[in-house]
Amino acid sequence: MIRLLILLAALLPGLVIAAEAKLPEDPRTLVEMPLLQQALMRQDMVEHLSALNNVLGFLAAGKLKEAAAIAEKELGVSSMGKHAAATGGQGPGRFMPEAMRGIGLGMHQAASEFAEVAKKGNKAAAYRALEPVTAACAACHSGFRIR
């Protein structure tokens, strides 16, 4: 029993220090939006990543038409405004600062542009046209957060 107490006494300071560990600094701009819009946005994001993965899979398999179709539907301009009904026209984009919304719009446009290029059937050109899409993902993530 005593040994156990000594052991606990020895461990305790370490536990306290762990609990007080400093979080790394987060330089991203915090964008506030209501919980519904936050949830919809994160749901979109998970779908974006999945769509991007599918696009890469189709590209690698040489199925450029399929890559184009999924990019347009899931990431392209066609995918915009899908939360209008659920939010009374107040989708996540309405809460984004100008710069963030610009990057988001740029991503949708780049995905549609990718789709146009991929449809033409040149694999190297399609890969080149995909980079501006992932560049938009990266740019927004390094600049903004919602929590």
Q: Is 136 in the site for ligand HEC (CB under 6 A)?
A: yes
Q: For ligand HEC, give the closer residue by CB, 115 or 136.
A: 136
| Separation CA 48–CA 109 (nearest Å) | 14
CA angle, 53 as apex, 32 and 57 as ends, to 5°?
A: 165
Does residue 146 belong to the site contacting ligand HEC (CB under 6 A)?
yes
Per the CB < 8 A criterion, the answer to whether 72 and 111 are in contact is: yes
114: how many CB neighbours lie within 10 A of its CB? 27
Per rule CB under 6 A, is residue 45 in the interface with ligand HEC?
yes
Binding-site member from 103, 118, 126, 130 for ligand HEC (CB under 6 A): 103
The footprint of ligand HEC (CB under 6 A) covers 42, 45-46, 48-49, 52, 75, 100, 103-104, 107, 133, 136-137, 140-141, 144-147
